Amino acid sequence: MTMVEQSIQTMPMAKALNAGLRKALADDPKVLLMGEDIGPLGGVFRITEGLQAEFGKTRVMDTPLAESGIVGTAIGLAMGGYRPVLEIQFDGFIFPGFDQITSQLAKLTNRHEGTISMPIVIRVPFGGHIGAVEHHQESPEAYFAHTPGLRVVSPSTPHDAYWMIQEAIASNDPVMFFEPKSRYWPKGEVDLSSSNAPLHASRVAREGTEITLLGYGPMVNVLLSAAELAAEEGTSIEVIDLRSLSPVDYGPIVASVQKTGRLVIAAEAPGFASVGSDIAATVTERAFYSLEAPVLRVNAFDAPFPPAKLETTYLPDVDRVLEAVDRAMAY
């Protein structure tokens, strides 16, 4: 077995995140993990399983059920030179900490004219398709992408999860790290020797020539499935994984639209005032004369997340993506 083969392992995203956190803890004694039930239990999704036993209770800390207190404590630790990594147990639980994140964490570096940094990562399991109850399936990423001072990213593969969590921890700016719950368990290859792309780079996940599909986190796999089906009908679709929601790497996006002339943006979040809204506007500004059709968006409905038995109706799926593809191709 070659060194390259040894460096490539197959694992689910949950294990890739665990491995990335373990590497960060081992590499830097100032890295701390904080969150509800992340110690002996290993977190609700077992992302931190085994880490407290390996690194101790002063590095992997169970906290009270108080998101505002978790974020506020992390801000103080960051001022003291530590690099806290926080776990918000579920996406809908982030709102008690919203004031600390948007009023303090996002602004402190600017408030002090760059003399202090806030190297804090906030891990947020987000999105649907797990059949959970209210407050356990949300897509709040647009709130934070809209907030200056925060970086916002979301991996879609185990490989990206392994590398992006380490790159986020290494950042001196606060990073909102949105982890797609529905992608925690499917396995994929992880190259432990190379990240392939910087933290804030978008990437072409599938080459195509006739239309571009763009998504992030849980939607990327849906878009790839749609592209496979469309290929059987003779339509060549390019798929772009956004990866970074703020800042957005527009280079590959604009280049793709200039090639294909069409763009469909998909996300599990409601569509009004969404990340996709801004990307649609910006692509229209930068590539207007390349567009053969309006930029179309496929989103969840502008309504609160419904009971679990209705989530498959509420969330975008392959059929809704392909319907948008058909509309774009009709122009």
C-alpha–C-alpha distance, residues 3 and 221, integer Å: 29
Any catalytic annotation for residue 159? Answer: no
Residue pair 183/129 in contact (Cβ under 8 Å)? The answer is: no
CA angle 255, 256, 260 (to 5 degrees): 125
Q: Residue 135 corresponds to which amino acid? A: H
For 134, the 3-state DSSP assignment is coil
**Residue from 129, 136, 159, 200 carrying the catalytic annotation:** 136
**Displacement of CA 80 from its chain's centroid (Å):** 28
Q: Which residues are catalytic?
A: 136
